Structure 1
Amino acid sequence: MRILNKLLFAVSCTALASSAYAQQASDGVVKIGILNDQSGVYADFGGKSSVEAARMAVQDHGGKVLGVPVEIVSADHQNKPDVAASIARQWYDTEKVDAIMELTTSSVALAVQGLSKDKKKITMTTGAATTDLTGKQCSPYGFHWAYDTHALAVGTGGALVENGGNKWFFLTADYAFGYSLEDQTSKFVKSKGGQVVGAVRHPLAATDYSSFLLQAQSSGANVIGMANAGLDTANAIKQAAEFGITQGGTRLAALLFTLAEVKGLGLKAAQGLTLTEGWYWDQSDENRAFAKKFMDKTGRMPNMIHMGTYSAVTQYLKAVEKAGSDATEPVAKLLHEMPVQDVFAKNGKVLPNGRMVYDMYLFQVKKPEESKSDWDMYKQLAKIPGDSAYMKAADSGCQVTQ
């Protein structure tokens, strides 16, 4: 009887310990929301492929954390901050979502990060670019993961000025992201000895860029900086080609353009463009192996937004595991402290303002005759060390300290 009692006591203790461990994850599940544009101008930029990247990260982590399942939920914010904030509020209050990621479109990301700050929830932005996310509107629970306007300005802007592209005219999307990208690139162009001769703003998802391009052409600029993204950039490049602008010697700088948009545009129209990304599938055996898995699931190669989302989910789950809890405060603390080492970022680090710093790359789009396969589109021109690409926390305007 004494032996039986000891066995029953041991089993009881084990069950209690297991139950207590699982309860460290609230609600018996860790839930991550991917909120982005799935049907509009940025659908190829991130979209449903980012959702798949998040699911791959969960699968690669084993599908569970702290003994409970990890669930990915997703929604289309339609590039509207009010819609995004409404979805985020419902996710937090009703569906018990623990963190929200991706957040394409800067105005959306700022709105959701602001709401999340009030509710003490973690956001990890991979799709939006404005440095305000880690600047004047930073949050102790907000992280900016894949790229930002400063890194794009240092990469693409710097390269063109140093190669004779010293007179810039900006074609700018008329919202927070466009303003930030124009401002950051303008400062960098001027710091390198270049000048800005003009700028014009266009609405999101415009269909006709002819008047804007003609203004740029008549300005005397030798570089037209596309301070926009997605289909806006692609359509402007197509119309520039129709007008013969590049044949006249004017260069097009795609300040935010990724592999997804180059593929959609085609090498014939995109050839010669310079752009900055944080990841390319053909850079290493590790990248090629991951890209093949991604291709098998989505039918496309990943860009830095998809990979950034994979990395953000992966790092979040690592932080939850290490914290022994999905509570916001300890997880956010670890996200600031833990190095980032995965297929996306090597030797990455998170600054006190939430900016993840890692190396960026300057690429040029290949000519059709240079491409050896369907997705063989880039040649690497330069590696931009993370400490050069990203703004120092002390210079960001962020008042948050950890």
Structure 2
Amino acid sequence: MKQKVTNQTRRKMLIGGAAAASTPLWMNMASAQSETIKIGFPTPLTGPFSAEAQDQVRAAELAIKEFNDAGGFNGRKAELLVRDTKLNAGEAATRTLELIEKDKVGFVVGSLSAATQLSINAVCKERKVLFNSISQSDAINEAKDWSVYTFHEALNPTMTAGAVARYSIPRFGKKIVFLTADYAYGHEMVRAFERAGKEMGATTLADIRHPLGTSDYSAFLPRIKALNPDILVLCNFGRDLVNSAKQCTDFGLKSSMKIVAPVLLYTSRIAGGAEAFEGIAGGTSYYWGLEDRIPQAKIFNDAYRKAYN
């Protein structure tokens, strides 16, 4: 039954619920026209994903400025309320609850991490507040976490790791080792890579898991080398990806295997340096070079450069 609910039905339900709460209607309309539109933005400003989170905040602030400069919505301006989840599910739930009950946000956007998005979603579902997750995750799209208040704006591991697998395996080989961050994001990336690889006869030699926020990968590297895979897949993100890429490079793994990363962002390349990521293949949801052939990408890039030098 849930799968048959259309976007139009969702909108009608949300609009109908808002209208039912309007008593008296003219008073709410007058109040709404003068109120600021508050947008909650919980994201991991501290921890191993801090660089990526701060990048998201900058882009969100740019969007808010453009919205307000254009006159807002019927004269109503928007305000972004950023809160640090510290990459912790409990902290994320607490900050989200504060945004809803104390700050009276109209809706919530953010999370970045699959480690926090489900706790944010649970709070928003309970309080009947819209949540738009911008995390790479399959779980947020699954029926058990679905609600009329749940939205997802991002690629997911099925898309991302699947695309990278279909590119990599025919070019580099079928024997695969995964170095995986031990939480939802890493697990889902492995699952998607293996699903795509199965169609091409790929074999998993090992899925070597490490804790989120690992700084030293030296204990894992000799085992990876001994397994002698065709491809080493780094199923991690942020500072974890930077540290593992650098240490794999220093250990000399690139000479005997191809290293790929399902999600390879510009922030990681800046943090790790050119040498660490030389020769590593990966996928990305947005590449600034798109401005050469897509006008809207050029408009966005120019606005971002102007805002943040």
- Give the TM interval when normalised to the shorter protein: 0.7 to 0.9
TM-score (norm. length: structure 2)? 0.84
In the alignment, the residues of structure 2 paired with residue 223 and residue 269 of structure 1 have an alpha-carbon distance, to the nearest angstrom, of: 17
Query: Which amino acid in the other structure matches residue 174 of structure 1?
Result: D
- Partners in 2 of 1:82 and 1:142 — Cα distance? 19
Tell me by how many angstroms 1:94 deviates: 1.3
1:90 aligns with one of 82, 94, 98: 98
CA distance in 1, matches of 2:31, 2:159: 41
Aligned pairs for 1:1-400 within 5 A: 21-24=29-32, 28-47=35-54, 49-61=55-67, 62=70, 64-126=72-134, 128-135=135-142, 136-248=144-256, 250-284=257-291, 285-299=295-309
Residue 292 of structure 1: CA displacement?
Answer: 2.8
Determine which structure has the larger helix proportion and give its number: 2
Query: Is the contact made by 1:167 and 1:221 (CA closer than 8 Å) also made in structure 2?
Result: yes
Measured against aligned partners, the alpha-carbon deviations of 1:12-66 in whole angstroms (never above 9, x if no partner) come to: xxxxx997644346x822111111111221111232x322211221222225223
Structure showing greater Rg:
1
Kindly provide the CA deviation profile for residues 63-121 of structure 1, in whole angstroms up to 9, marking residues without a partner as x: 52233221111011100000010010111111101111120211200110111111111
Deviations along 1:335-379, one digit per CA (max 9) or x if unpaired, are xxxxxxxxxxxxxxxxxxxxxxxxxxxxxxxxxxxxxxxxxxxxx
Whether the aligned pair in 2 keeps the contact of 1:22 and 1:66 (CA below 8 Å) is no
Extract structure 1 runs of 4+ deviating beyond 4 A: 17-22
Identity level (%): 23
Secondary structure class of the residue paired with 1:54:
helix
Distance in 1 of aligned mates of 2:148 and 2:225: 44
Quick one: structure 1 residues 18 and 141, their matched pair in 2 at CA, closer, same or farther if it must change by over 3 Å? closer
Task: Provide the TM-score with structure 1 as the length reference.
Answer: 0.66
Q: For the residues of structure 2 that align with 1:109 and 1:20, how far apart are their CA atoms?
A: 32
Q: What's the C-alpha RMSD, in Å, of the aligned pairs?
A: 2.0
Please state how far the C-alpha of 1:146 moved relative to its aligned partner.
2.0
Distance 1:107 1:101 in 2: 15
- Give 1:379's aligned residue: none
Q: Which residue number in structure 1 is paired with residue 14 of structure 2? A: none
Greater relative contact order structure (CA < 8 Å, 6+ sep)? 1
The AA in structure 1 aligned to 2:64 is V
Instruction: Kindly tell me the number of residue pairs found equivalent between the two proteins.
Output: 279
Equivalent residue of 1:45, what SS?
A: helix
Letter in 2 for 1:44: A
- 1:289-336: per-residue Cα shift (whole Å, max 9, x none)? 42132123234xxxxxxxxxxxxxxxxxxxxxxxxxxxxxxxxxxxxx
Q: Distance in 1 between matches of 2:272 and 2:71?
A: 36
Counterpart residue identity of residue 155, structure 2: Y
- Look up the equivalent residue of 2:303 and give its one-letter code: K
Tell me how far 1:266 sits from its aligned partner: 2.0
Contact 1:22–1:68, Cα closer than 8 Å, also in 2: no
Separation in 2 of the partners of 1:226 and 1:274? 10
**Mind listing any 5+ residue stretches in structure 2 that lack a counterpart?**
1-24
Query: What is the DSSP-based 3-state SS (H/G/I as helix, E as strand, rest coil) of the residue aligned with 1:79?
Result: coil
Unaligned 5+ segments in structure 1 are 1-16, 300-402
CA distance in 2, matches of 1:289, 1:137: 36
Partners of 2:26 and 2:297 in 1: CA distance: 38
